[in-house]
Amino acid sequence: MSEQMKLVANNKKAYHDYFVEEKYEAGIVLHGTEVKSMRLGKCSIKESFIRIENGEIFAYGMHVSPYEKGNIFNKDPLRVKKLLLHRKEINKLMGKIAEKGYTLVPLQVYFRDGKAKVEIGLAKGKKLYDKRQDIAKKDQRREAEKELKIKMRG
């Protein structure tokens, strides 16, 4: 079985703003022209978030640009998209979200075996000092790499 994965959109900001604890893969309910637009890579999840309502899971703010040749068949680019997860997983996520500080964020959108998927992260919000620590660690790593490069040349 060949498992081909084509990345459409990535949410780097999620890793900056949250501690991602668990990841889930969900299908996305899309209309024809949205799929074509996504295949061209015209999707953004930077400002999107995920909610669970009435035992169903939805993605808000996921922007899928209208397909150029779609004319009347194009849907609203920011329409709410239903996500497909197993009942057991949704119930588990509902329990986790009920805890203080947990939220659901989309991490990436991709095609796996021709089907549009979204990777959902169960995340806990970072405080400002956590973000500062991450930035400091990155700077330290960058400095170390720079010094190593200089030593390798010299």
Determine the average pLDDT of the residues in 144-154: 75
Other CB atoms within 10 Å distance of the CB of residue 150: 9
Phi, psi (rounded to 5 degrees) for 115: -110, 135
pLDDT band at 116 (very low <50, low <70, confident <90, very high): confident
pLDDT tens digits, 46-56:
888 888 888 88
Give the 3-state secondary structure percentages of the chain, helix then strand then coil, rounded to 5.
Answer: 40, 35, 25
Determine the average pLDDT of the residues in 75-96: 82
DSSP H/E element including 131: helix 128-153
Q: What is the pLDDT of residue 2?
A: 46
Q: Is the pLDDT of residue 5 over 50?
A: yes
Q: What is the pLDDT of residue 108?
A: 86
Q: Is the pLDDT of residue 35 over 70?
A: yes
